[in-house]
Amino acid sequence: MTGDKIGPHSDLLGQFPYLGPPHNTRWPTIEELRKQVPAEERDAEDKRRNEEQAKLLLACLHIKGEPMTAVKLEDARRVISAAEKKAREIGQPMNIAVADEGGNIVAHVRMDNAWIGSIDISLKKAYTSRAFDIETKELAKHSQSGGEFFGVHVSNNGKIMIFAGGIPLKLDGKVVGAIGVSGGSGDQDHAVAAAGAAAF
């Protein structure tokens, strides 16, 4: 048996290279390997890693319940205030609801003397408008018998409203929420919803 650094079977290295290298060889550390990489590449890699960590942090915050919606309560109140103003101008009390990008209701107001039965309708108009990213007035046109969306009102567990009063809320051209209004005629509901959407 030989006493070299490779071991007792150094004569077999040609046939079995995995017997080497010497067991006392010191492998370079990660820091030493990093130093072999050009500074520009190291900086770019560090930047990429930092960006990934930032994204992961945001994702964790979202999981913990931090709001990540474009429609905040402050926005919803502003939209509702503008809609209420229009409703008072036309002399028709309304139910007004604002939904976020997930179709969840951020805020709702039932004006004095507005129909109780219209509460549910306003909520569903806001959901419908966000779910399909379309004004419910337009959806109604395509949901009649023979239309391409005929029967859509029975989908989503009955949450779809196919008459005027729901309008998407857009930010930089992207739909991020919706307003739903109910309590008057179709034209009145649409006009109040449009006033609210314009204030977003």
- Identify the sign of the CA torsion 36, 40, 42, 45: negative
Residue-level pLDDT at 22: 55
Residue-level pLDDT at 4: 47
Residue 67 clears pLDDT 60, i.e. is over it: no
Q: What is the mean pLDDT of residues 20-49?
A: 72
Q: Which two tokens stand for residue 85?
A: 């103003």
As annotated, the residues of the chain forming the CATH 3.30.450.150 domain(s) are 73-198
pLDDT tens digits along 145-172:
888 878 888 888 889 999 999 999 999 9
Angle, alpha carbons 88-92-94 (nearest 5°): 90
Residue-level pLDDT at 36: 75
Among 34-43, 59-68, 101-110, 127-136, the least confident range: 59-68
Q: Which two tokens stand for residue 155?
A: 């989908």
Ranges assigned E (strand) in 28-149:
95-99, 105-110
What CATH superfamily classification does 73-198 receive? Haem-degrading domain (3.30.450.150)
Within 8 A by CB and 6+ apart from 184, the residues are: 87, 90, 92, 94, 192
Work out the mean pLDDT of the chain and round it to a whole number.
84
